[in-house]
Amino acid sequence: MPATRVDPTSQRREIRGLSLNYWEWPSDSLPAPVDLLFIHATGFHARVWDPVIRRLPTSWRCLALDMRGHGLSDEAADGYDWEKLVADTAAAAEALDLKSALGVGHSMGGFVIAGAAARTQANFRFRGLVLADPTITDAQDPRRRAVRLPLGDAAAPGNERVSTDAGRRRPIWDSPRAMFDSYRTRGPFDTWETEALHAYCDFALVPHRGKGMRLACPPEVEAATFAANQGSDPWPGLARLGMPAVVMRGTSDHGRRSVTSPRVAKVIPHGVDVPVPASNHFIPMERPDLVADEIGRLARSLGLPA
């Protein structure tokens, strides 16, 4: 187990007209031998990566970005199309002057970090990717939309049921502890590791002008982000990626099933498909140790020091 990390600090950057928040876990070695950028899933926030990051070497500098409308970042008047999220992340990588970083993303975050890596290849912002069930689907490929999953299927990305459910999420809570206690025995949270659920609940709420606390990602923003996930085509960018990419796919049928296409790793020139039998879509929450292990394996394959 790596040495204990110091707590991260919250920082902000003006990115494409928005004030975006990111968290930084500093390296205990200067200069840091490895930089990593983490991107979260729809409706989540940057601190859900705590259980993964605490398992990584403390000499590595870790940055985790709150997407527009999520966490402590600004909401966006121009919407939540996933191409905008890709552009935000690519611009953040430039603004933070990342050089040959490792990119890590879950669900929407996997889609986004892959797109940002493709956009910034000329400036060598990323040297490798770990995509945890990145919600890159055949339905997002215009050539394959005839096989799109039917609306109303809970596993179908961007469908009306998922977006509607997100829009009905309870927005006001007494405290993070109350949220944790409520979610502990409810799906999809009932299969998460305790530390992962704490990481989500402890930073999912912000002060509210009325009684209690409100969701940092309002239900309407989460619903709008879900609804926008088939408006972009990630496949050409995947085919252009010149870096190794590990694609973790949950293969369990319990809870929220994976919708990531098995083609993803095949289309990426240096892609590696890693099925995870013990997990569903929420791999970082159910098995943060496995995500940390894959990051470590990727780093070693690239000759990066711990």
Q: Domain holding 290: CATH number?
A: 3.40.50.1820
Query: Mean pLDDT, to the nearest integer, of 184-204?
Result: 96
Average pLDDT score over residue span 174-199: 96
Q: What is the pLDDT of residue 167?
A: 64
Count of the separate structural domains present in the chain: 1
Amino acid identity at 169: R
Q: Residue 148: what pLDDT?
A: 47
Please write down the long-range contacts of 227-231, taking CB distance under 8 Å and 24 or more positions apart. Answer: 227/158, 227/163, 228/79, 228/80, 228/81, 228/82, 228/158, 229/42, 229/82, 229/108, 229/111, 229/135, 229/140, 229/157, 229/158, 230/137, 230/139, 230/140, 230/148, 230/157, 230/158, 231/81, 231/82, 231/83
- Residue 242 domain-assigned? yes
**pLDDT, tens digit (0-9, with 9 covering 90-100), for 23-45:** 999 999 989 999 999 999 999 99
172 part of a folded domain: no
Residue 59 lies inside a defined structural domain of this protein: yes
Give the domain extent around 128. 11-147+232-301
Position 208 in a domain: no
Coil/strand/helix, residue 180: helix
| Encoded amino acid at 234, one letter | P
Q: What is the pLDDT of residue 87?
A: 98
Average pLDDT (209-214) is 87
In a domain, 154, yes or no: no
Give the whole-number percent of the chain exceeding pLDDT 90: 81
Instruction: Return the pLDDT at 144.
Output: 82
Residue 104 domain flag:
yes
What's the chain's average pLDDT?
Answer: 92
The answer to whether residue 170 sits within a structural domain is no
CA separation for the pair 176, 23 (Å, rounded): 19
What is the pLDDT confidence band of residue 284, given thresholds at 50, 70 and 90? very high
Residue 197 falls within a domain, yes or no? no
